[in-house]
Amino acid sequence: MLLAVLQANAAVLDTDANLAAIDDAARRAAAAGAALLLTPELFPVGYAPLRIDAEFDYSALPELRQRLAATARKHGIGLVYSLPARDDSGAHRITATLLDRNGATLLDYGKVHLFGADERKAFSPASEAPAVVDFEGLRASLLICYDVEFPETARAAAVRGAELLLVPTALSAGFDAVPQVLLRARALESQLTVAYANHSGHEDGCDFAGGSVVAGPDGALLAAAGEAPAVLFAEVSGEAARSAREKVPYLRERRPELYAEWEAGAP
């Protein structure tokens, strides 16, 4: 399956401009034969937690979701997008959603690990484990940004059968080791493909690192961006994950009951 990854600069709280950028990327990705487009964290509204907290109208969410679903339908491409959301308790979350080619929702996920004071002021952390769904023959799951920097979250997806981990992110400059080193290790240790879509440029006081990547189950780079806006393409497959897990059975040979004892006995 051909996967597309959008790296771009969002305009904070200019949803029309940001949705137009997603629509254009979806058009280009579909024309290239991609089955799925991954976009960055909070891209439809721009990454600015405190401004979202103060200014974003959560009543606009249904329309935004409808417009994103229409983009998927129009171009016949699956889509991963990330939006702020409000749950039934009234808590504000950072979320990601996977749509199929018809714009139907396959999977929703709430960010578990919030990064920094601004995110913790504007949002509440979710607690649900990453779920796994079938996307055109691939077992796919979602994490968001800082989540993937914890091995436990990627492993939680892997033990549920994930072969492809889709990660919208908003990684600021100065953390280059995350896409260059950590993500390749994460893909290798859980033996799945990790796709990581970041912002580029400057948004509301934050300089973004770019550096979006796709890393295969053997840790190899399948695609990588620099600092500039780009649409990356990579061929991904479930067979690559299954082959890696058969060759070195990390998942089968884990001893989680022992690790739980170790943690319980830690000082």
DSSP 3-state of 112:
coil
Per DSSP, helices labelled H in 56-208 are 61-75, 116-122, 151-159, 177, 183-190
Is 111 one of the catalytic residues? yes
Tell me which of 55, 63, 111, 149 is the catalytic residue.
111
Is 145 one of the catalytic residues? yes
Tell me which of 74, 121, 145, 203 is the catalytic residue.
145
Residue with tokens 């990330």: 82
b or e along 56-92 (b: 16 or more beta carbons within 10 Å of the residue's beta carbon)?
beeeebeebbebbbebbbebebbbbbbbbbeeeeeeb
Q: Are strands 164-168 and 193-197 parallel, antiparallel or unpaired?
A: parallel
How far is the C-alpha of 258 from the C-alpha of 267, rounded, in Å?
Answer: 16
User: Could you tell me the maximum CA-CA distance found in the chain, to the nearest angstrom?
Assistant: 56
Which residues, 6+ apart, have CB-to-CB distance to 47 below 8 Å?
10, 12, 40, 41, 170, 199, 203, 204, 206, 208
Query: Which amino acid, residue 239?
Result: E
Q: Provide the annotated active-site residues.
A: 41, 111, 145
